[in-house]
A and B are shown apart, each in its own frame.
Chain A
Amino acid sequence: MDLHTTRDQDEIIESAQEYLSRELPADRSITQKDTALSGRQWRGMADMGWFSMGLSEEAGGLGLSVIEEALVMREFGRYLAPPQALGTMLAAHLAVDAGETTLAAALASGDRRAAIAVPAQGGTTGGPATGAYRLVDTDQADLAIGWSSAGAFLAPMDAFIGREVVAPMDATLQISTAEGLDAGKAVWRSDNDGLFNARARVLTAAALTGGAEAVCAVSTEYAKVRHQFGKPIGSFQAIAHPLAKMATRNEAALACLYYAAVCVRDGKPDRDLFTASARSVAYYAGYDNAVASMQIHGGYGQTYEYMPHFYLKRAMIYGLVGGGVAADEADVLEADSIII
């Protein structure tokens, strides 16, 4: 029993932080005009092996596990990497599972990108629903992936009927709507063993956890330098205690994420309980921390030029994808017992 990262895993985290802090610092969001990473930026991420690290070596991947993928995804959350990164990582797995090797290779190499599709009415459906969709992070994406506990589909962008780019909730991303989906053009795979959804939950939880940690760090830094009444505001319990709550939510989210990721890698019987719990706990960490951060930043927290709202919006997005937190919450209640 050892829930700590290994030396190799620590190196994966360090190299991701080193790369992202240089190439994609989170505060780029404030001045960012484009709603997609450039081809050079995207290929740079692909060259780090991040979109294929969890694929087997026969499938052209690095043969690493969902744990290593989650560690990278946590950094993506921290640095506000676009949700396409989650979509593309998952799409590569789906393509391999469905025997679409050329497609998998194109996703892994950074040639193709997958946006994330969610049904307009939310909820989960068996098979790709043919109804209306909301599509997250569509700029430069030529595919979109959608999933639930029933299964996952990957569709070319032209399979979405009546697609329209709309005013985005998160101005760093392109959001589209579609009136329907031509399901015949989509690759669909039932998730019979639940492994796809388990991986998706872990990776989504990881992105949420990284965001929750980052917004806590940003707020802590602010509380140390912002002075009122002649002191740093972090020396007032009205500020320090909400920050301590944020740190505690981070710890719970990270610990549950690690536990869930090991369950997925090793096929533990408690896998679904822990993955559903991990996304739920990470979602509330991400969302509640961002809300608290907006308050701690006072007037600045309400402005576009400070970081809290970026993390708030990402937490909302990662809470909606793949059947949404509501599906996880229902599954948490489904379990007969939580005594391990």
Chain B
Amino acid sequence: MHLDLTPEDERFREEVRDWLVDNIPKGRAPTGRYDFREFDMNWQKTMYAGGWAGISWPKEYGGRGLSTIEQIIWYEEGAKAGAPDEGCAFVGLNHGGPTLIANASEAQKSFHLPKILKGESVWCQGFSEPGSGSDLASLSTRAEIDGDELVINGSKIWTSYAQVADYQELLVRTDPEARKHGGITWVICDMKAPGITIRAVPMANGNEGHLNQVFYDDVRLPITNVVGEINGGWKVAMSTLSFERGTAFTARQIRLAKMVDDLVDRAKTKTGPSGKATFANEEIGRRLSKLRAETVALRGMTFLAVAKNVRRDQPGPDGSMLKMMVSRLGKEAQQIARQLMGNDILIMGHETYEHFYSFANSVGGGTDEIQHNIVAERVLGLPKSY
């Protein structure tokens, strides 16, 4: 049991730091409907050009072929240095790409993976439907096989970045007669295909550039776009959900730690209506301390999960515990921030905007309720509770 990096990893960290100092773009990503794509893709292109894209991806597809530890170092140093969020590159890098690596044909991999790393294609996810949320396998978007094409009809929702995406990891029902997990197919959907309509779903903070509903009206996709087997899509989708819940959170953890540091500083200096430091308010002090201690513990959880993963064939349910913690702590940080903001919460500035986003943490990427089910079944061995 130790916390030491190898000399190679230490060197890697130094290189990352040096590169970041000179290359992080100034300013925040724009928050309009379409304007962030250019910002996010430019950052991805910069990283690719510097040799920092796909740290743990195989070399043959343009990655660096390094370990999870190096990937974590990259995320940590980036977040510490204030590098932008992956933004609309998130799905391709953390979900679509890894799913292709694990399941796709050689032709699919060599076409798509380099484009993702080079910042040339944006991916979105087509999993949830208006009638299928936590019960994902009940999805009903249909795909009829017509010769060498799939003909898609139906609708997907909560699709982040659909309006700027080139491709979608789309789950469709190819066999309505099969048991519900058995008749699903994972297919690459070209978002420019005729028959696709996209409607923005404005969020609580007024953002219209994130969530969308996508409608499919006789959309025709070549059958060669299917990843894995026809009717074998559930296995393909599940193979990387735990991936998304693992190291992909590292950057978010560091941002959370920065926010908590900031809250502590503000609570120390800000005075309340009584003239006393907000810090002297025992309730805020205790909540901040608990929040901070648990945020510190997250770092241990990440490395403990990594240590367990190198000793087993596939990631365990630890990712679900990490996700539940990160979501809860993120929301708690925003609740404390709200108290410190006082009546300035009335102004829809950056802080208020982020405040309303925090409620989505425990819903997006699998609700907290589903994570609880996973932990109850897979960590504790309890019977199915639904």
A residues near B (Cβ < 8 Å) are: 1-6, 9, 67, 216, 220, 223-224, 231-232, 234-237, 240-241, 243-245, 247-248, 251-263, 266, 268, 273-274, 276-278, 280-281, 284, 328-330, 332-333, 335-340
Q: Tell whether, in the assembled complex, residue B385 and residue A236 are in contact, meaning their CB atoms are under 8 Å apart.
A: yes
Encode B219-255 as 1/0 by CB contact (under 8 A) with A: 0000000000000000000000000000000000010
| Chain-A contact segment, one of B91-99, B318-326, B333-341, B357-365 | B318-326
Within the complex, the shortest CB–CB distance from B163 to chain A, in Å, comes to: 35
Is B29 positioned at the interface, with any CB of A under 8 Å from its CB? no
Q: How many Å lie between the Cα of A311 and that of B300 in the bound state?
A: 25
Chain A binding surface, main DSSP class: helix
Q: How many residues of B sit at the interface, in one of the four size bands?
A: 35 or more
B residues near A (Cβ < 8 Å) are: 1-5, 9, 69, 80, 254, 257-258, 260-261, 264, 279, 285-286, 288-290, 292-301, 303-304, 306-308, 311, 318, 321, 324-325, 369, 371-373, 375-376, 379-386
Q: Looking at A266, A330, A338, which has the most chain B CB atoms within 10 Å of its CB?
A: A338
> Beyond A243-B382, A244-B376, A277-B293, is A252–B298 a contact (Cβ under 8 Å)?
yes
- Chain B residue numbers with a CB within 8 Å of A223 are 382
* Besides A244-B324, A255-B301, A337-B261, 7 other A-B contacts (C-beta < 8 A): A252-B300, A256-B300, A259-B299, A259-B303, A262-B3, A273-B296, A277-B297
- Chain A residue numbers with a CB within 8 Å of B375 are 244, 247-248
- Chain A residue numbers with a CB within 8 Å of B371 are 244
Q: Tell whether, in the assembled complex, residue A248 and residue B324 are in contact, meaning their CB atoms are under 8 Å apart.
A: yes
Within the complex, the shortest CB–CB distance from B74 to chain A, in Å, comes to: 14
Q: How many Å lie between the Cα of A281 and that of B325 in the bound state?
A: 12
Q: Tell whether, in the assembled complex, residue B296 and residue A241 are in contact, meaning their CB atoms are under 8 Å apart.
A: no
Chain B binding surface, main DSSP class: helix
CB closest residue in chain B, given A274: B296
Would you give 21 A-B contacts (Cβ < 8 Å), ordered by A?
A1-B3, A1-B5, A3-B303, A3-B306, A3-B307, A4-B1, A4-B308, A224-B382, A234-B380, A240-B376, A244-B372, A244-B373, A244-B376, A244-B379, A248-B325, A277-B293, A329-B290, A332-B289, A332-B293, A332-B296, A339-B80
- Chain A residue numbers with a CB within 8 Å of B303 are 1, 3, 255, 259
Q: How many Å lie between the Cα of A5 and that of B264 in the bound state?
A: 34
Q: How many Å lie between the Cα of A274 and that of B303 in the bound state?
A: 14
Q: Tell whether, in the assembled complex, residue B381 and residue A255 are in contact, meaning their CB atoms are under 8 Å apart.
A: no
> Beyond A3-B1, A248-B375, is A232–B292 a contact (Cβ under 8 Å)?
no
- Chain A residue numbers with a CB within 8 Å of B325 are 248, 252
Q: Tell whether, in the assembled complex, residue B380 and residue A247 are in contact, meaning their CB atoms are under 8 Å apart.
A: yes
Within the complex, the shortest CB–CB distance from A296 to chain B, in Å, comes to: 12
Q: Tell whether, in the assembled complex, residue A338 and residue B304 are in contact, meaning their CB atoms are under 8 Å apart.
A: no
